[in-house]
Structure 1
Amino acid sequence: MELKVERLDFEMADLSGSRFQKVKAEELYFDNVNLTKTQINNANMRGMALNDVNMSDFRISNANLTGTEIKNANFSHAVLDHVHLIGTEFRNVVLPMEGDGNYNPNGDYKPTSFVNCDLSNGQLTNCNLANLDIRDCNISGLKINGVLVEELIKNK
């Protein structure tokens, strides 16, 4: 397949409903754009950077996020389904603070859930686990501050 090479520069344009199929689109630059309900399928997004983005109701499925770094992110109601998180780091993941778009003064937020996940050999460091509910999980070797949880339960 021979590709037509063309550089486009859009400013103050409405490209809503446009379709891009079998397109090479490396090193694109988007600034102050609305990508609501955009769908990206079967794409190589290696090295892609997202900054200052609203990812509420975001969905990621069948994705390789190996080595991804997620910090200072707001993933309200996000769903990650069948993703590889090898070496992935989540940093400064917090509930919204006063002044943030999703802030709720009553603190009524939908709980963050991990379902059918393999977090073996992972680490949680300096995290708020208040009221965390662990159900039907393999806790062999699980340590909290160096203490085996199995031993605590056995000695209870």
Structure 2
Amino acid sequence: MKIQKVEIKDDCAEVNAKNAMLDNSSFSNVSMRNVIISDANLSDLKIDGAQIGGALIKNIGMPDGDHPNYDPDLKHRPVRFELCDFKTSLFIECDLSQVRLENCNIAGLTINGIAIDQLLANSKK
């Protein structure tokens, strides 16, 4: 594959990239509504100042044993969320083992129907 630099300025209706390496790319002041990213390595991705209402993020992590890129020796590196508003969001069938919440507002947070703020308040009594 020939490596080239592409610069897009002003309006661009649609970009389709397949089998592409976009390492070290940056996007600023862009609208990327309805973007689909699949089968991608997004390691060290940084998203800052974005609106992601209605976003669906799924199948995130290392490939499972059936995937051609599966490597049992590789471990998923931690993901970090800072200054995010996840009010009324839903996490379904996510592995949250060893997750830490620090300085977070947990009012109304429930896990499998159990109100965590009330559980913590009761445990302090």
**CA RMSD of superposed structures (Å):** 2.8
TM-score (norm 2): 0.72
Cα deviation digits, residues 109-155 of structure 1 (max 9, x gap): 32111111111111111111111111110001111111100111112
Matched AA of 1:79:
K
Residue in structure 2 matched with residue 105 of structure 1 by the alignment: 73
State the TM-score, normalizing by the size of structure 1: 0.60
Residue aligning to 1:8: none
> What are the superposed Cα offsets for residues 73-127 of structure 1, whole Å, 9 maximum, x if unpaired?
xxx12111111111111122232345427x46152x3211111111111111111
Q: Aligned letter for 1:26?
A: A
1:82 pairs with one of 38, 49, 53: 49
Inter-partner Cα distance in structure 2 for 1:94 and 1:15: 28
1:96 aligns with 2:84: no
Aligned residue type for 1:100: N
Q: Which runs of 5+ in 2 are unaligned?
A: none
Query: What SS does the corresponding residue of 1:81 show, helix, strand or coil?
Result: coil
Q: Which ranges in structure 1 are unaligned for 5 or more consecutive residues?
A: 1-11, 56-75
Tell me, yes or no, if structure 1 residue 153 matches structure 2 residue 107: no
1:130 matched to 2:97? The reply is: yes
Q: Which has the higher contact order (CA 8 A, sep 6+)?
A: 1
Tell me how far apart the structure 1 counterparts of residues 74 and 28 of structure 2 sit (CA, whole Å).
38
How many residues matched?
121
3-state secondary structure, aligned to 2:60: coil
State how far apart, in whole Å, the 2-side matches of 1:121 and 1:86 are.
11
Larger-gyration structure (1/2)? 1
Separation in structure 2 between the aligned mates of residue 47 and residue 87 of structure 1, nearest angstrom: 10
The structure with the largest strand share of the pair is: 1
Q: 1:114 to 1:86 in 2, by over 3 A?
A: same
